[in-house]
A = this chain, B = another copy of it.
Amino acid sequence: MTPVRGATNMAEYTVDELAAAVGGEVAGNGGAVMRGVNGIKEAGPDEVTFVANPKYRAALKETRAGAVVVAPEVEAADLTLIKVSNPYAAFAKVLVMFAPPAEAPEGISELAYVHGDARVGEKVAVGPFVTVREGAVVGDRTSLGAGTYVGRGATLGADCLIYPNVTLRERVTVGDRCIIHSGTVVGSDGFGFATEGKVHHKIPQIGVVVIEDDVEIGANCAIDRATMGETRIGRGSKLDNLIQIAHNVKIGEGTLIAAQTGIAGSTVLGKYCVLGGQVGIVPHVEIGDGAVLAAQSGVTKSLRGRETVFGRPARPLIEVKKREGRVALLEKYFKRVKELEKKVAELEKERR
């Protein structure tokens, strides 16, 4: 029986081996053996941890960690350090080295249903109770978790990791190396109705969804198919959980979207945007490359690139702070107005 408990794969590496793997330099005991990874507060003498943000460097004084991945300028005489220019990225590599095997199923379960007209690549893994319908294509080494559904004519690239209970509707396209978490639905109908009198007639949603390479989508998201044409999520973009992407939305490459954000129909997001959680964007607007939308903001019009906005309606941070600051001053100003009224009344009395 495979060891499945605990956060690591029972791997062991010396500090020297870890430093070599991440291109770092060792200060301290390079021969110490590390058996796992942990947070700086929790790590013990055989665990490696990291400090990326300078404001957490104080924690170095109290850590019991066997080794710490840090920036080159950090000094800590009592500790074994692995010094690298990007400690966060380096630690990501260390995590991969200690990561337990992925949750992928092995081989094609006899309990799955794969239609005879589906095309399945090499070394594909298909869990129990998976449905793959006619005309679907599943690329090499892609894994489909238990209970996942792949609709008619849907296409998945190579090396994808689709977790259990995902729904990929007909004709959607997923690129290579994508990860889709459980409960997510790709290709549900867009929300479109033509109202005549008291009846909302459904506008058939006959478009598709295209998810480009290296995209990750969190759990329980809903990515609607286009009315016509396509809804598209650009290469290397990463979506958190419970996100709504409406019909005909286009998202550029490398954009990051935090949980519970919703993007309304036909809106276009640029490349390398960053959206906080619980953001809402109205339909039919354009958000430029590199825009940053703070958590919970409500975007009601198009934004230029590289702009940072905040609040509802969303405005540049500087404006929001000014407005907030002015409201905070109201109590004082009200007093000043009252004071003026007293003085003016006095002056008026005198002149008579």
- Is B244 a contact of A259 with CB atoms below 8 Å? yes
Q: A288 on the interface (CB 8 Å rule)?
A: no
Residues 51-110 of A at the B interface (beta carbon under 8 Å): 86, 88-89, 91-93, 95-96, 98-100, 103, 109
Question: Given A103-B170, A152-B103, do A189 and B199 touch, yes or no (CB 8 Å)?
Answer: no
Q: Among the listed B182, B206, B328, B334, which residue makes an inter-chain contact with A37, where contact means beta carbons less than 8 Å apart?
A: B206
The interface-forming segment of A12-20, A26-34, A301-309, A340-348 is A340-348
Q: A298 on the interface (CB 8 Å rule)?
A: yes
Q: Among the listed B117, B193, B238, B254, which residue makes an inter-chain contact with A191, where contact means beta carbons less than 8 Å apart?
A: B238
Which B residues are in CB contact (< 8 Å) with A93? Answer: 201
- Is B165 a contact of A169 with CB atoms below 8 Å? no
Q: Which residues of A contact B (CB under 8 A)?
A: 1-2, 4-8, 37-39, 42, 86, 88-89, 91-93, 95-96, 98-100, 103, 109, 111, 113, 117, 127-129, 131, 134-135, 145-147, 149, 151-153, 163-165, 167, 169-171, 179, 181-185, 188-189, 191, 193-196, 198-204, 206-208, 216, 218-222, 224, 227-229, 236, 238, 240-242, 244, 246, 248, 254, 256, 258-260, 262, 264, 272, 277-278, 280, 282, 295-296, 298, 311-312, 322-323, 326-331, 333-334, 336-337, 340-341, 343-344, 347-348, 350-351
- Is B272 a contact of A206 with CB atoms below 8 Å? no
Question: Given A37-B206, A92-B204, A183-B183, do A260 and B259 touch, yes or no (CB 8 Å)?
Answer: no
Which B residues are in CB contact (< 8 Å) with A221? Answer: 220
10 closest Cβ pairs, A-B complex: A4-B153, A222-B241, A188-B219, A4-B135, A167-B182, A89-B194, A219-B222, A131-B146, A185-B219, A149-B164
Instruction: Report the minimal beta-carbon distance from A181 to chain B, rounded to whole angstroms.
Output: 5
Distance between Cα atoms of A236 and B193 in the complex (Å): 11
- Is B334 a contact of A91 with CB atoms below 8 Å? no
- Is B89 a contact of A201 with CB atoms below 8 Å? yes
Q: Among the listed B39, B147, B236, B277, which residue makes an inter-chain contact with A262, where contact means beta carbons less than 8 Å apart?
A: B277
Which B residues are in CB contact (< 8 Å) with A272? Answer: 198
- Is B264 a contact of A258 with CB atoms below 8 Å? yes
Q: List 7 A-B contacts (CB under 8 A).
A: A89-B195, A182-B185, A191-B218, A191-B238, A219-B224, A244-B277, A344-B344
Which B residues are in CB contact (< 8 Å) with A135? Answer: 1-2, 4-5
Distance between Cα atoms of A149 and B164 in the complex (Å): 7
Which B residues are in CB contact (< 8 Å) with A6? Answer: 171
Which B residues are in CB contact (< 8 Å) with A149? Answer: 145-147, 164-165, 182
Which B residues are in CB contact (< 8 Å) with A183? Answer: 167, 183-185, 220, 222
Which B residues are in CB contact (< 8 Å) with A312? Answer: 296, 311-312
Question: Given A242-B242, A295-B280, A312-B296, do A259 and B262 touch, yes or no (CB 8 Å)?
Answer: yes
